[in-house]
Amino acid sequence: MLSRRRFLHATALAGSAAAADLSLTPWLRAQSPDATATARIYVDPERKLAAIAPTLFGSFLEHLGRAIYDGIYEPGSKLSDASGFRTDVMDEIRRLGVPIIRYPGGNFVSGYNWLDGVGPKQNRPKVLDKAWNTIDSNQFGTDDFMAWCKAVGTLPLMGLNLGTGTPEQAAALVEYCNVEKGTEWSELRRKNGVAEPYNVKHWCLGNEMDGPWQIGHMTAEEYGLKAADAARQMRMVDPSPSLKLVACGSSGPGMPTYLEWDRQVLDQCYNYVDGLSLHRYLGNDEETGGSSAKYVAMNLSLEQQIVQTAAVCDVVQAEKRSKKQLHLSFDEWNVWYRARGPKFDNGQRTEAPHLLEEIYNLEDALLVGGILNSLMRHAARVRIACLAQLVNVIAPIMTNDSGLFIQTIGYPYGWAIQYGRGDVLDLLVQAPAYEAEGLGAVPYIDAGATRNPQDGSLGMFVLNRDLNKPREIEVVWEGSAPGKAIATQVLTGDDLKASNSFEQPKKVAPQSFPSPAAAPSGRTRFEVPARSYTVIQWAG
Ligand code: AHR
């Protein structure tokens, strides 16, 4: 099987949409020609783009490496409860407030038999997972995940095996999870000790089926037909309108079939699904030529991916004369490039191997901040998104036997969940720009803002891409200015390559940021440091 990394190399990214010039895109329309000028952010609380779906800042846990075993589930550890769940990890995920978590894969799901993971633990088979060449003990499965989700207060986003699995097996899992009683699979759940159905709403119809690395990889037409069949059977089992089904879109703009895959898949299954998935991993590697200035602007390329994928959905909608508009599920996104490739993705037939344990630095966190701004700007269309992943595997939370630490990327992610609530505002940002190869003119300042209608509070997220200088910001309040700043934090530092570790868990950590003074003139001025991501919350 071709690894994803080698496949993307082989298909050469040059000339792909990932490298397209973005200077004509609408969200970059207002650049200031003066390179030293103050950046202006015009905010009108009445100018709303969309209400943020509570599932926009989700995450992902795969049976991969130490994400599940040693990550969230470690029976026998002094840090675990009676169910074997790591309580320190649960506390951290509760503190973050992660709203939805995709499970059990990823590539893993395409060879997974969900029946191996339910029932008495002593009867569950140890199996070879052929996606990561890892032994899976199946000691953690569907019922364990549901119990864990309940304990941490998050929703499940369940992945289905449409690789080796059949539509019938996918529908059987829906029956196991969502039917109360009286059918073969609902009775099996009850026999396994769970009387009440889980009523899982969100389902992914397979994973990255466009990728030659995927177990069961097939053509777009074959997959589209299989997804349609699975969706029809699933809806027969659970006809409730709250069942939301996501078809697999392209696994990234580097794919030779990018967008054409999406179009052909939707041609077959548009009428049966609610959303289409996107995936994207970015790195300061070949794509950026190692340029940090370009790297921290790559969220704009991801944003273009959203626009292009939505356009394909809309073309198919129009062709089918459908009244239904699909949402997008950006159910895997992150930085991932160091712990990647054959040295890192082969479990050598061991249990819970150290795989994909990427260590994140400051510049990664700045880009993640930019991506979160991008997701907010497209909240009208992107209703689910998952930081991939959550624990140990390309993750903000890293564990060992005695505890955990938070990686740099965990801070902007946590701020988005905490402060990015309510409606996303349609900002006008006028900022000086710089040239980044392949991206065109990139504004130094990237901003997002949300307003919570419940209490009128306003959250603003500001990425300063200037790696050398602080930048002056003037917020122009159009309409009423908010109250005083009630929370302010900044992530910055001298060294873009600095990262956290068990030895130095707070090397890169949020610092306090001076509260901007109240604005009698309808304007608020503040300065953001070089290389920074800042969050400010104003009272309503
Ligand atoms: O998140 C790691 C892997 O990246 C997932 O298993 C797969 O879907 C993607 O290629």
Nearest atom, ligand 1, residue 208 CA? 8
Looking at residue 30, its pLDDT comes to 52
In contact, 100 and 156? CB cutoff 8 Å: yes
Helix, strand and coil in the chain, % to nearest 5: 25, 25, 45
Residue of 59, 107, 214, 337 to mutate, ligand 1, most atoms within 8 A of C-beta: 107
B/e letters for 26-43, b = 16+ CB within 10 Å, e = fewer, are: ebbeebbeeeebbbbbbb
Q: Which of 333, 317, 337, 360 is nearest to 509 (CA)?
A: 360
Radius of gyration of the chain (CA): 23
Compute, in angstroms, the gap from residue 208 CA to the centroid of ligand 1. Answer: 8
C-alpha–C-alpha distance, residues 537 and 43, integer Å: 14
> Which two tokens mark 343?
């040295």
Map 119-186 to HEC letters.
CCHHHCCCEEECCCCEEECCCCCHHHHHHHHHHHCCEEEEECCCCCCCHHHHHHHHHHHHCCCCCHHH
Read off the pLDDT band of 480 (50, 70, 90).
confident
What is the share, in percent, of the chain residues with pLDDT greater than 90? 91
Looking at residue 3, its pLDDT comes to 61
Read off the pLDDT band of 31 (50, 70, 90).
low
Looking at residue 517, its pLDDT comes to 86
Q: Which among 92, 332, 358, 363 is annotated as catalytic?
A: 332
Nearest CA to ligand 1 atom 4: 106
In contact, 445 and 530? CB cutoff 8 Å: no
Q: What is the pLDDT of residues 483-516, one digit of tens each?
A: 999 999 999 999 999 999 999 999 999 999 999 9
Q: What is the pLDDT of residues 448-475, one digit of tens each?
A: 999 999 999 999 999 999 999 999 999 9
CA angle centred on 62, ends 59 and 64, rounded to 5° = 135
Nearest atom, ligand 1, residue 64 CA? 6
Mean pLDDT of 430-439: 95
CA angle centred on 20, ends 15 and 26, rounded to 5° = 160
Q: What is the pLDDT of residues 99-157, one digit of tens each?
A: 999 999 999 999 999 999 999 999 999 999 999 999 999 999 999 999 999 999 999 99
Q: Which among 208, 287, 358, 363 is annotated as catalytic?
A: 208
Helix axes 142-152, 87-96, angle to 10 degrees: 60
C-alpha–C-alpha distance, residues 70 and 352, integer Å: 7
C-alpha–C-alpha distance, residues 161 and 65, integer Å: 19
Nearest CA to ligand 1 atom 8: 106
Looking at residue 130, its pLDDT comes to 98
pTM of the model: 0.95
Q: What is the pLDDT of residues 284-300, one digit of tens each?
A: 999 999 999 999 999 99
CA angle centred on 67, ends 283 and 463, rounded to 5° = 35
What are the φ/ψ torsions at residue 438 (nearest 5 degrees)?
A: 85, -15
> Which two tokens mark 394?
């390309």
Looking at residue 21, its pLDDT comes to 47
Give the SS3 label for residue 529.
coil
According to CATH, the superfamily of the domain at 4-51+423-538 is: Golgi alpha-mannosidase II (2.60.40.1180)
Q: What is the pLDDT of residues 379-409, one digit of tens each?
A: 999 999 999 999 999 999 999 999 999 999 9
Nearest CA to ligand 1 atom 5: 106
Tell the burial category of 343 from Cβ atoms under 10 Å away from its Cβ (0-12, 13-18, 19+).
exposed
Ligand 1 pocket, Cβ-based, cut-off 6 angstroms: 4, 62, 105-107, 207-208, 332, 388-389
In contact, 208 and 214? CB cutoff 8 Å: yes
C-alpha–C-alpha distance, residues 254 and 267, integer Å: 22
> Which two tokens mark 265?
């898949």
Nearest atom, ligand 1, residue 251 CA? 10
Q: What is the pLDDT of residues 162-220, one digit of tens each?
A: 999 999 999 999 999 999 999 999 999 999 999 999 999 999 999 999 999 999 999 99
Mean pLDDT of 253-263: 98
Compute, in angstroms, the gap from residue 60 CA to the centroid of ligand 1. Answer: 10
Give the SS3 label for residue 108.
helix
Residue 208 catalytic?
yes
Compute, in angstroms, the gap from residue 106 CA to the centroid of ligand 1. Answer: 5
Compute, in angstroms, the gap from residue 356 CA to the centroid of ligand 1. Answer: 10
Compute, in angstroms, the gap from residue 455 CA to the centroid of ligand 1. Answer: 38
> Which two tokens mark 457?
């509070």
Give the SS3 label for residue 369.
helix
Looking at residue 1, its pLDDT comes to 46
C-alpha–C-alpha distance, residues 94 and 102, integer Å: 16
Please report the sign of the dihedral spanned by the C-alpha atoms of residue 109, residue 198, residue 143, residue 63.
Answer: positive
Mean pLDDT of 329-347: 96
What are the φ/ψ torsions at residue 447 (nearest 5 degrees)?
A: -130, 150
Q: What is the pLDDT of residues 147-175, one digit of tens each?
A: 999 999 999 999 999 999 999 999 999 99
pLDDT of 15 > 80? The answer is no
Domain at 58-287+325-364+379-419, CATH from 3.40.50.720, 3.20.20.80, 3.40.50.300, 3.40.50.2300: 3.20.20.80
pLDDT of 378 > 90? The answer is yes
Residue 332 catalytic?
yes
Nearest CA to ligand 1 atom 9: 106
Please state, as a whole number, how many other Cβ atoms lie within 10 Å of the Cβ of residue 366: 29
What are the residue ranges spanned by the domains of the chain?
4-51+423-538, 58-287+325-364+379-419
Nearest CA to ligand 1 atom 3: 106
pLDDT, the chain, mean: 94
Amino acid at 301: S
> How do 134-136 and 127-129 pair as beta strands?
antiparallel
Read off the pLDDT band of 7 (50, 70, 90).
low
Nearest atom, ligand 1, residue 334 CA? 1
Report the chain's terminal Cα–Cα distance, integer Å. 55
Nearest CA to ligand 1 atom 6: 106
Nearest CA to ligand 1 atom 2: 106
Looking at residue 297, its pLDDT comes to 98
Q: Which of 185, 201, 357 is nearest to 274 (CA)?
A: 201
pLDDT of 8 > 70? The answer is no
pLDDT of 24 > 90? The answer is no
Q: What is the pLDDT of residues 39-72, one digit of tens each?
A: 999 999 999 999 999 999 999 999 999 999 999 9
